[in-house]
Homo-oligomer: A and B are copies of this chain.
Amino acid sequence: MSNYSSLERYELKEEYEKLSAAYEAYKAQGLSLNMARGKPGAEQLNISNDMLSILKPDDVFSVSDCPDCRNYGNLDGIDCCKQLFADIMGVDKKNVFIGGNSSLNMMFDTIACLMELGCSGEKPWNKQEKIKFLCPAPGYDRHFGVTQYFGIEMITVPMTKDGPDMDVVEKLVSSDPAIKGIWIVPKYSNPQGVTCSDETVRRFASLEPAAKDFRIMWDNAYIIHDINGTPDTLLNIFDEVKKTGKEDMVLEFCSTSKVTFPGAGVAAMAASENNLAVFKKRYNFQTIGYDKLNMLRHVKYFGNKDGVLAHMQKHRAVLEPRFGMVLDTLDKELAGLGVAEWTKPNGGYFVSVDVMKGCAKRVVSLCKEAGVVLTGAGATYPYGKDPDDSNIRLAPTYPPIEELEKAMDIFCICVKMAALEKLTED
């Protein structure tokens, strides 16, 4: 099939008829398929099952800095778990705070804390006039959700193949003291799978914010989540801010949600001692400590960072063919038609597809009618509003592979149908 833009109107109509027939056939099957959320599939969850019974009733539950992991205490986690995350993030153990089961929850609590207490000697964010956050987009909908929940104005920043458009970021951050932060998934970004280039990371580390209490929310969710043999590499932001003397500017987050079990993993943050002192002021009232037995479970299961990396290879083995299939299908069905562009990530959990402008909502709705649930169109933009109505996030990890194949077929049909509808509009 040639590029749709080169076709005559009657050819477009013919093509649409053909696609409609295929679409109706799928619809008649009453399918229920889901490519909406970045959830590991059952095969991936099975990889970590042995961790569930790794703690034994007659184990010794004391570790270097905790006489009994079964009891209260250790607000910022146990040492051996801090060390594991320190090694993964490439920071010093003293800069690590181990949280509960969710890095999203840690980020939420972090923003709540800065709203209530502030940082760098500035007034609490909720005591300042309007405050704003930069939101590179397409990005992670739950970041935007947290920002919106706290009434923080969101400013969209375009993404490039090297990360956020740093010209825009630098200009905004240095000129507006109301801008207090930026969200970024620096490696294998959600949804595009973009990794910040070395230059982007260095420019982050060299930002000169007008606000002293500006913070980079460095959500390194996919820090070790490669899915093929040509992984991206990401500079260590903490190494870079050490050089620029801006250690207080960065807050890094990660978790084992997509290493062991989503919802039963361990989350961690890395931050300067100044920043941790602020957060501990709040955590100290919020809790006596997080689940140390789950920390111990993880440490005992993995041993060390090498153990984690070896484990990630098992995830890769499951994910590589899935992403391969998705990309092959997009190539086979959509390449050259001028109806969509997409990313080819080396890691992470998503494939980001830009369909023809003004068509994303229609594609999502066509898919839904045929029993394929996608992330809502617009979700990858602040306030759920994609100005081009173009970006769609595909999450290929969760459905059984045969369902994924079907879902991808339907998706491609819908992308083409929506484009044809647009092209043949009166």
Contact = CB atoms under 8 A, between A and B. Distances in A.
**What's the dominant secondary structure at chain A's contact region?**
loop
B50 A57 contact: yes
Contacts of A2: none
Contacts of A71: 39-40, 45, 261-263
Nearest to A281: B149
Contacts of A261: 70-71, 293
Interface string A122-164: 0000100000000000000010011011100000000000000
Contacts of A69: 263-264
Q: Could you say how many copies of this chain the assembly holds?
A: 2
Contacts of A52: 55-57, 59, 293
B39 A104 contact: no
Contacts of A105: 286-287
B292 A264 contact: yes
Contacts of A50: 57
24 contacts: A40-B71, A45-B68, A50-B57, A52-B56, A70-B261, A70-B262, A71-B261, A100-B100, A102-B287, A105-B287, A108-B286, A126-B126, A142-B288, A146-B285, A146-B286, A148-B285, A149-B282, A149-B285, A263-B291, A263-B292, A264-B291, A264-B293, A291-B294, A294-B294
Interface of A: 37, 39-40, 42, 45, 48-50, 52-53, 55-59, 61, 68-73, 100-102, 104-105, 108-109, 112, 116, 126, 142, 145-146, 148-150, 257, 261-264, 282, 284-294
